[in-house]
Each structure stands twice: as structure tokens, then as C-alpha cells.
A and B are shown apart, each in its own frame.
Chain A
């Protein structure tokens, strides 16, 4: 009885490892080496995968990160978004849009002397949560905001 349970666990563990390998296989190591920076993370299909590819396992939610955007965007093809981090030692700011085909939209590296506050305009396919991932003093933090879209950004 115990033996079979153990064997089952073992088999389960093996499958888990295999799944991990498969996930890793989505982007082969050669690709990662060939592409600079975070290109692999841009290919990920979910916010969690993209965050993981950036090295953020479980970022803590922080009130010191502000996502400035209107809650309802009429035109999903051009949605202005500003992200400001008040965390000391902010090194990078990354913008992810949950329901886009590839959530990772843009990642900014903030050198010392540059204010941790960037503005840009993005495409959002449908109403979605938007995440700001901030790396400060080697740790990851995040904030979330929902943006409703009246007209999708990926039509045509």
C-alpha cells in the first residue's frame, strides 16, 4: 500500500519535472543566449510566465507603485499609461497587459539619476488588468489596475 503510494508520488514528481522541462523548452537556451535582455519574456503567454522569465517569482504588491491611466479607454489601439515608482533604488519598470496575446508590453531600465516615472502609449486588445512590475534594490514589487476598453486595439 505504502509502496504504491510512494511510487505514485514519484511518478507524479517525474511528470512535474517533465512539465518544467517542456516549459523551459518553449524557448531553447540557444535563443536566450542569442537574444539580448528579456526577449524570452516577451514571448510568454501569461503574466505569471512573463514575470517568472524576468526573474520575479512572487512580487509583493506595493502601494508605492502607481499606474496612471484612465479607467475606461475608448480606443484600445492607443492607451496612454504612466507608471511611477516611489520605491527607493528603482532599477526597472515593466508593463504587462494580462489579456494581450503576449502580456509583456514594455520594460524600462532606469539608471541612477533618471526618475522612476515613465509614460508611453500601448495597445490593449480587450478590457484587462494591467500590471506594473518594479525591480528595486534587487527585489520585485507590483501594482495592478483594470482598464476597460470600448474599442479593441487588435481589430482589423
Chain B
């Protein structure tokens, strides 16, 4: 099981700023290990952020996103105390969802 995401969400003047830091190797599939064997690709391929069940951002990623991915965006219509949920899925079928409240 992957480590939890760090999610910071702050509302200001009706705009909610979301900052997410995920814990993932983001292996490209191009790198060779010490024995010269290719390390198979392992990366987050899909990210979805929801607010009250509504998607506020969805993303599709390739292995070019940096290790331990960072993502920041803003959306309108959120209030303090509302819940934000973020889910990622990787190319090996693992996934993780974390939730936080707007403050």
C-alpha cells in the first residue's frame, strides 16, 4: 500500500486552492537497474479530485511526471469544512484515495 497523499486545501474569496503531493516512484520504464536490466514502468496514470461528489479536476499522466508527483489547481464554489477527495490509479492497478477538509 502506498503512502498517503499530502493534500492542502485553502479557500479564499470563494476560490479553493488545492495542493497535492503524492507518494509514488513514477518509474519510467527506461531506466536500467544495477544488473543492466530494464526496470518496468510503474507510474500514476490517472488522478481525480472531487468536491461533494463532483469532479473538479481529472488528469491522465504518463511516466514523465516527476517522482512523488505534485499537482496544484484552483476551483470555485467550495467552502470551509467541505470535503475534498483525491484518487490516483497507477498502471499496475494500484490505487489510493485520500480525503481532507477545506480550511
Interfacial residues, chain A to chain B (CB-CB below 8 A): 36-39, 42, 77-80, 82, 97, 100-102, 104-111, 113-115, 117-124, 153-154, 156
Contacts of B55 in A (CB 8 A): 109, 111
Chain A: minimal CB distance from B75 (Å):
4
Contact B74 A37 (CB under 8 A): no
In the complex with contacts A120-B71, A120-B72, A154-B30, A111-B57 CB distance below 8 A: yes
Contact partner of B73 (CB less than 8 A), chosen from A36, A114, A122, is A114
Encode contact with A along B47-78: 1 for CB under 8 Å, 0 otherwise: 00000001111111111111101111111110
Please determine whether B62 and A102 come into contact, CB atoms closer than 8 angstroms: yes
In contact, A114 and B75 (Cβ under 8 angstroms): yes
A92 to chain B minimum Cβ distance, whole angstroms, is: 10
Known contacts A119-B71, A123-B66; is A113 also within 8 Å of B76 by CB? yes
The smallest C-beta distance from A65 to any residue of chain B, in angstroms, reads 16
A sample of 15 inter-chain contacts (CB < 8 A) reads: A36-B46, A38-B60, A100-B64, A106-B59, A106-B62, A111-B55, A113-B56, A114-B73, A114-B76, A115-B15, A115-B75, A118-B59, A121-B69, A122-B66, A154-B31
Cβ–Cβ < 8 Å partners of B45 in chain A: 39
With A78-B66, A119-B71, A121-B70 in contact, is A42–B76 under 8 Å at CB?
A: no
Kindly report which residue of chain A lies nearest to residue B45, judged by CB atoms: A39
Contact at A109–B58, with CB atoms within 8 Å?
Answer: yes
Q: Are A104 and B74 in contact (CB under 8 A)?
A: no
- A106 CA to B47 CA in the complex, in Å? 10
Residue interface bits B1-31, CB-to-A below 8 A is 1, else 0: 0000000000000010000000000101011
Closest to B28 in A: A154
By beta carbon, the residue of chain B nearest A94 is B60
